[in-house]
Structure 1
């Protein structure tokens, strides 16, 4: 299962000052996110279209890591 990390937010060029209140509004723990990331399905469940660019970043990061791991 894909997890979104702070790296993905930065890659999507999201402003962290705006993301932290967004996390609070949705009842997500910011520190837990920083430590562990957050599952893409949890983000999608918010219904907020703004999560999709971040999810795409996470999926791309994971795909690239798999390619490196496969020796491609």
Structure 2
């Protein structure tokens, strides 16, 4: 599962003052993230409460997508 900028926005986090500095501290590639997302496992390994909230949002989206796909089948 991937984390995308939409998940960060859904969490209500500020890119400039919070998320971008967090990415920099982790030495993650911000432009690559914006283009391709980042694996949720990588984000989860930080054990950062705010990062884990983003993973939860992405997981909920994934669960909803699967639920919809199963209801169509």
Q: Shorter-chain TM-score category?
A: 0.7 to 0.9
Q: If the length of structure 2 is used for normalisation, what is the TM-score? A: 0.86
Other-structure match for 1:13:
12
Following superposition, the deviation at residue 49 of structure 1 comes to 2.0
Runs of at least 4 residues off by over 6 Å: none
Task: Spell out the pairing of 1:1-72 with structure 2 (5 A cutoff).
Answer: 2-17=1-16, 18-71=18-71
Aligned length: 71
Alignment RMSD: 1.3
Deviation string 1:33-69 (CA, Å, 9 cap, x unpaired) is 1111111110122232221110010001111111121
Return 5+ residue gaps in structure 1 as ranges.
none
> Which protein has the bigger helix share?
2
In structure 2, runs of 5+ residues without a counterpart are none
TM-score by length of 1: 0.87
